[in-house]
Structure 1
Amino acid sequence: MRMKRTLATVAAAAIAATGLVACSDDSNDNKDNNAKDGGNVTVKIGTTESDQEAWRVFKDLAKDNGINLDIVQFSDYSPVNEALAQGEIDVNKFQHIKYLAAYNQSSGNDLRIVGSTEIVPLALFWKDHTSLDGIEGKEIAIPNDPSNQGRAINVLVQAGLLKLKGNIADELAPTPTDIDKDASKVSVVPVDASQTPSAYNEGRPAIINNTWLDRAGIEPSTSIFQDDPNSKEAEPYINVFAARKDDIDDETLNKLVELWQTPEVEEAVAKDSKGTSVPVYRDKQELNDILDRLQNK
């Protein structure tokens, strides 16, 4: 794994100033020695959300536990996994299992899961309404991207508003063609995720993910229905720490998972998500089994 003990404050400052890789390939013996002599280990971690409060708390907590986090901010999702696969970073935390599965399938790489963080339920919003009453016959805007469309349809299935046809290709990722229109109470219109708040503001019901809720200033607490974070349908959307296959049992990376799951970080995550995030504590093997099932499909 690409981690290295910080030997001196001056060296650490030089690394930070130049933006170079903060560590080099070390043997397991060297990593063990770092732990024994009390030296700090530097881990380069990639994310798209480093401006959130949870990351400040996480970084401070890691430092208290002998881990210097070199947080690499990406402006877009697409390069983060590739940077990990190429060894430019040691670990990342920005994605759910389904996104990771799709990356592995398209790239031919085999990134794996170190541990779980949280899940953010996907919810249905309808301006000036507090329940599903009166929604029958309405047209509901749903995001059309691969990461959210199937989940949005399943939200409406869980709400009892849609029925799916039998023997569909993938029950975890249904498409509009899988909907039994005659047996359903509503219809759906797939739109770009950025347009779902516009549909909401026009008075139409809409499935809106947290990114666009925040940008549109819509309070998550005003949803009229959300999916069950403990359901099988929600499993692909558990957010995770990902690493290269050979590193998923690394002591330091597993320590980072433990630290993210502490009350201090979870409180900050809840604040960032305005109370919508739900902590997830799943066994590493179970998480990778879910990953494998999604990739096989």
Structure 2
Amino acid sequence: MSVSPPPTPTLPDKPKSKTGWIVGIAVAVVAVIVAVVLLLVNLSAPASSDAGKRATVTIGTTEKASPYWAVLTKAAAKEGIDIRVVNFGDYTQANPALNSGQIDLNLFQHLQFLADYDVSTGQNLVPIGSTLVVPLPLYSDKYTSVAEIPQGATIAIPNDATNQARALLVLQKAGLLTLKDGGNTLATPADIVADRSRVSVIPVDAAQTAPALTSADGAIINNNFALTAGIDPKSAIFQDDPKSATAEPYINAFVARAADKDNKTYLKIVQLYHTKAVQDAVLAESKNTAVIVERPQADLQKIVDGLAATIKASK
């Protein structure tokens, strides 16, 4: 007779633990907190940073040591823009570097200089924002006033076409020389009427006008080179009027390639230049001789186009 095996005991159901749903609730709460924090961070981020993305903009200049660059760079960094400043030793280098794409913008030239470059090279660099007009001063280590400068004295002037013409106009305004037909923004030393002029000029590279003070009776020196040489702008014995209508061709500007004229990041930098902190630094450096200029981009281009037309007509 076979004996049946004992029945398998039936175990009672395992009591359900509360740990699982507690953990689930905890995870959900943490997820909500993280989402809220991320939302708040995004809302507080600068609009120009494009949700955390930063832009690097390389700007060429002839005055990298100027204190206002540090102020502008700091302001841009808060907006998600990292500015890299590249210094050039003279005025002839920054436009070719911009045209070739080595830099993104430059800030060193006035509109007359830009128009002359575009016409002479066939390029199309454009102004995207005005900055200031700086007077073009006459300095002398030998004389303390224009009246003291004797007949036959020599004055060093920049030899680049646009600053040379402006320098000649300054000397004419000072009563030191006379130009044929009153001169214009294209004047050259050949336009000097010798028998009606008290001085002769020595054209040199703009960067060499300050050193030329040791040998010439005076020198027309652009502001950035004067500051680099430790010359106080207030020591000038004469200068043109940066607020006059005739100063319009000498408005300095941020310049870009034509394809970048509407670049929002570049235009933001122009906007930041015109904030009080940057302008205070600019004016302090110029000993309050500079005049800040805010002109629409379209106005600047119109001025450049007019100057370019005049240059072309003269050739």
Q: TM-score scaled by structure 2?
A: 0.72
Structure showing greater radius of gyration is 2
* 254, 259, 280: which one aligns with 1:241: 254
The 8 Å contact of residues 149 and 190 in structure 1, kept in 2 or not, is answered as: no
Give the residue type in structure 2 aligned to 1:139: A
* 189, 194, 200: which one aligns with 1:188: 200
SS state at 2:55 partner: strand
1:220 pairs with 2:240: no
**CA displacement at 1:232 relative to structure 2:** 4.1
1:294 pairs with 2:303: no
Distance 1:215 1:36 in 2: 35
Residue by residue over 1:72-127, the C-alpha shift from the partner in whole angstroms, topping out at 9 and shown as x without a partner, is 44455444333333334332222222332232223322111101112221111233
Q: What residue in structure 2 maps to residue 91 of structure 1?
A: 105
Q: What runs of 5+ residues in structure 1 fail to find an aligned partner?
A: 1-33
Q: What runs of 5+ residues in structure 2 fail to find an aligned partner?
A: 1-46
Distance 1:222 1:88 in 2: 37
CA 1:89–1:207: 2 relative to 1, 3 Å: closer
The 8 Å contact of residues 139 and 204 in structure 1, kept in 2 or not, is answered as: yes
Distance 1:79 1:208 in 2: 19
In the TM superposition, 1:2-13 aligns within 5 A as: none
Q: What residue in structure 2 maps to residue 178 of structure 1?
A: 191
Q: What residue in structure 2 maps to residue 163 of structure 1?
A: 178
Residue by residue over 1:125-181, the C-alpha shift from the partner in whole angstroms, topping out at 9 and shown as x without a partner, is 23364433333525241324124221111102222333322286xx11211221233
The 8 Å contact of residues 48 and 265 in structure 2, kept in 1 or not, is answered as: no
Distance 1:86 1:58 in 2: 25
Q: How many residues align?
A: 261
Percent of residue pairs identical = 41
The 8 Å contact of residues 46 and 80 in structure 1, kept in 2 or not, is answered as: no
Q: TM-score scaled by structure 1?
A: 0.76
**CA displacement at 1:242 relative to structure 2:** 0.9
The 8 Å contact of residues 84 and 91 in structure 1, kept in 2 or not, is answered as: yes
Residue by residue over 1:155-209, the C-alpha shift from the partner in whole angstroms, topping out at 9 and shown as x without a partner, is 02222333322286xx11211221233344x222224245544553457233222
CA 1:136–1:281: 2 relative to 1, 3 Å: farther
